[in-house]
Structure 1
Amino acid sequence: MTGSASALLIVGHGTRDAEGAGQFRAFVRRVAARAAGAGAGCAAPAAVAGGFIELSPPPLKDAVAGLVEAGHRNLTAVPLILLAAGHAKGDIPAALARERDRHPGLRTRLGRPLGPHPVVLDLLRERLAAASAGAERPDAVLLVGRGTTDPDANADLYRAARLLWETSRDAGVREVEPAFVSLAHPAVPDGLDRLRTLGARRVVVLPFFLFPGVLPTRVHAQAGAWAKEHDVAVRVADVIGDCDALADLVLERYLEADGRGPAAPGMNCDACVYRIALPGFEARVGQAQHPHDHPEDPTHPHHHDHPHHHDHEHAHVSD
């Protein structure tokens, strides 16, 4: 636990898209307002700033310099990134190390990327509903991420697609397939081909992106070109965008990295059904956990006396 709150440094990748860069800057202001709002109390960061590691102003160095000039020597950085590829694993830690060299005595912590957090899944379902409004419910969803050369990050998109499907079945979503717009396969046309083969005739392409940019624009172009050549109705949803729920998630990641969040160090409890009310699994929250019966455990109350054993869920390590 920290003795006092650190400053929050929101780290973006950067984009050549002016609208996307503007949304990032507006989002940083939103997070600052949410942090300063009623109920933030002692959980609020000492200050909030944001910068990019490349392509867009303000650069990260300017954001750090502004915090240092204001007297802040403890910074907690939250990567405003959905999937933990090279930017989150290498570029951002290296950039923070450079800032520590520039500002002797500066201390930094680095939080986790946002990932397929339940808040992100909720926002994706909202964008899916908006894209489906006024039309027949879609047969399937194509969840499109940026694509990387990091297999771990690419696998996380598959995890996001599975979680979205698991928590959207009550809404009638039959299939959720992942695809990538660059650097990795399957590409957007490949994903749409697969859904068509599986029988889908109404598809929503759901960009797994925070703000507008070059790659979300490419998703629209690729989906539109494919739709012109096939007998499938294709709609493209909006990106997640600047919103309060996303701002609150950044503050959650900040508290976690600052040692004041609910998750234990090293644990990823974002999608634990015993802690989080995921749609369709609400009854699991707080559910009592019991060990499995083992026939060679003489201390267990069911040993020999109760031959008919019941099925139990495995317990979460800290439940």
Structure 2
Amino acid sequence: MTTWNLLPMQRHLLICNGATCMGAGAEEVTQQIREEIRINNLDEVIHTSRTRCNGRCKDKCVVIDYPKGTWYSVQQHETAKAIVHEKVSEENIIYSMEKGERLLGKNRVKGIEKNRERKGKKQTAVLFVGHGSRLEAGNEEVRRFVKKMYSRIDPKFIVETCFLEFASPNIEDGIQLCIERGANEIHVIPIILLHAGHSKLHIPAEIEEAKEQFPDIRFTYGQTIGIHDEIFEVLKSRLQEVGFDPSVKHEDTAILLIARGSSDLDAKGDFYEISRKFSEQVNVPILECAFMGITTPTVEQGIARCIELGAKKVIMLPYFLFTGILMERMGRMAKEFSKQNPTVEIQIANYFGYHPKLQNILLERLQQAIDGTSTGIQDLENFRKYVEEHGYEHHHHH
């Protein structure tokens, strides 16, 4: 192990290499600072060290300048270089020291009190995690849906909503909101249809990281919507909305059940199992599966297969939770299919969406998390094993 003579050193830069900062580019920040020190021949007066989490994850990436006592937030190369020369703009300062007093920079969140465990009554929080959409209308659907569940959730519980990507708050911020409101236990419940990468890796990564940052907070994890009897009731109601009677035999009609698509074999297998069970509940001779992307069969292939099997009418039934770009694209596809196949009637049913019966599933998933019977427990264990074997580069979604 190296033992440096640090007597000549005038400054010590502590560069956070905790999981959150690393996911936001701390390795690059570390190398930029060290390179700037090297090319300016400052190695004899400035020493650098990597640290673990410093507790200001919101301000990632964090660099502390000792003995000045200034904490910096670094998002750009220029800021990393400016730290070496002590010419950092005020907007990048988290804390500064003046006359022995620590001052919080402008526009910086105060954060959670470290002695929160001694303040007030402890509470349980429920954090619902939506996927997030580039279209804000889809995100608003999630928020409204969760609000409708308030009356069915224990009023003593704190309830928050967050998103995996494309919308705010993200999971990290959602967890912090729960803690700021006094939670010492958080049940994380994904609003996700199929069990794939998001529920196997991305959400568990956020939970495991939060456990490190908040060791006194207890986390539980709920399972995805998955295969559930209520799913088929939702799908049948969507068909009824376009005039399809599930109890009547439809000789020349095909249903094309359409998912977003995933490379995860478990998710694809569950989707096929859902279609198989659903085919037993609707009187049509043809029920096919298709995917909007990533995997096959494509929607085009699905339509072609239905027509090849003799369908005179095809109902496109989207298995999506929220409106968005894919629904718009599907509408255009339906028009094009109709032009190409003028003798076949093409209909689009409404997407799965936030149907009232979905509340029943999510509330059941919440109860499983509370009871300790959720498969989410195994998901967290599987994630830890995955990281041990393969490593995991954690990226936050915004």
Partner deviation per Cα, 1:21-59 (whole Å, 9 max, x = no partner)? 1101111211223325xxxxxxx7722211002111222
State how far apart, in whole Å, the 2-side matches of 1:204 and 1:5 are: 47
Q: CA deviation at 1:133?
A: 5.5
Q: Residue 221 of structure 2 contacts residue 374 of structure 2 at CA under 8 Å; is this kept in 1?
A: no
What is aligned with 1:69?
Answer: 180
Greater C-alpha Rg = 2
2:216 to 105, 124, 143: 105
Decide which of 368, 374, 384 is 1:256's aligned counterpart.
368
Query: Which runs of 5 or more residues in structure 2 are unaligned?
Result: 1-121, 379-398
For residues 164-183 of structure 1, the aligned pairs below 5 Å read 164-168=278-282, 172-183=283-294
Which residue of the partner structure matches residue 148 of structure 1?
A: 262
Choose 107-116 or 118-127, whichever is displaced more: 107-116
Which residue in the other structure is 2:27 paired with?
A: none
CA distance in 2, matches of 1:98, 1:30: 30
**Distance in 1 (alpha carbons) for counterparts of 2:134 and 2:328:** 12
Do residues 18 (structure 1) and 132 (structure 2) align?
no
Kindly state the Cα deviation for residue 62 of structure 1 after the two structures are TM-superposed.
2.5
**Aligned counterparts of 1:164 and 1:29: Cα–Cα separation in 2:** 30
TM-score (norm 1): 0.73
Size of the aligned set, in residue pairs, is 251
CA shift in 2, pair 1:9/1:146, >3 Å: same
Where in structure 1 do 4 or more consecutive aligned residues deviate above 4 Å? 260-263
The CA distance in 1 between the partners of 2:327 and 2:213, in whole Å, is 35
| Higher deviation after alignment, 214-223 or 77-86 | 214-223
Work out the CA distance in 2 between the residues paired with 1:213 and 1:31.
23
Distance 2:132 2:269 in 1: 23
Identify the structure with the greater strand proportion.
2
RMSD: 2.4
Classify the secondary structure of the residue corresponding to 1:132: coil
Q: Deviations over 1:186-208 (max 9, x none)?
A: 00010011111111111111000
Structure 1, residues 291-313: CA drift from partner, whole Å, max 9, x if none? xxxxxxxxxxxxxxxxxxxxxxx
Q: TM-score, normalised by structure 2?
A: 0.59
Q: Identity percentage over the alignment? A: 32
1:198-277 to 2 correspondence within 5 Å?
198-230=309-341, 231-259=343-371
Q: 1:152-163 maps to which residues of 2 (within 5 A)?
A: 152-163=266-277
Change in Cα spacing, 1:94 to 1:261, as seen in structure 2 (3 Å) is closer
Between the aligned partners of 2:236 and 2:325, the Cα distance in structure 1 is: 23
1 CA distance for matches of 2:151 and 2:205?
A: 29
Query: Is the CA contact (8 Å cut-off) linking 2:256 and 2:287 kept in structure 1?
Result: yes
Gaps of 5+ in 1: 37-43, 267-319
Task: Report the residue type matching 1:15 in the other structure.
Answer: S
Matched, 1:185 2:303: no
* Residues 256 and 35 (structure 1), Cα distance of their counterparts in 2 relative to 1, 3 Å cut: same
Q: Hey, what's the Cα distance between the residues in 2 that align with 1:218 and 1:115?
A: 25
Q: Find out whether 1:123 has 2:234 as its counterpart.
A: yes
How much has 1:71 moved relative to structure 2? 1.5
The one-character-per-residue Cα deviations of 1:216-248 (angstroms, maximum 9, x if unpaired) are 322222233222201311111111223322122
Letter in 1 for 2:271: L
